[in-house]
Amino acid sequence: MSEGQRLGEARQNAFQLEMQAEQMRRQVADLVDDSQLAQREKRAFTRLRTDKRELLADLFDELKALKAEDGKVITVATGLRQRKSELTEAA
């Protein structure tokens, strides 16, 4: 094999390695982007779950504070029915 052929093969191999390296760089960049997106979604879901828990705690406290006209404590189920009817009337 001549020196020119060996040089040509070496260049071809180097080009193939560069192409593979570029493909791997793109794959790594895609994985990083996907990971960042997943982290943002996780933070958003965590924030929503926290907001929901706080809202439910506030609503539960509000329901526990309800008393019937005769001074009796209203159960949570009764309070929920009462609140639902208030929301229906408001709509």
Write down the number of H helices and E strands in the chain. 2, 0
Q: What is the pLDDT of residue 18?
A: 97
Q: What is the pLDDT of residue 63?
A: 78
For residue 67, the SS3 value is strand
Q: What is the pLDDT of residue 62?
A: 82
Q: What is the pLDDT of residue 38?
A: 95
Q: What is the pLDDT of residue 89?
A: 76
Residue numbers in the chain where pLDDT is lower than 70: 67-68, 73-80, 91
- Listed as own residue / partner, the contacts of 57-63 with beta carbons closer than 8 Å and 24 or more positions apart are 59/83
25 alpha carbon, distance to own chain's centre: 26
pTM listed for this prediction: 0.52
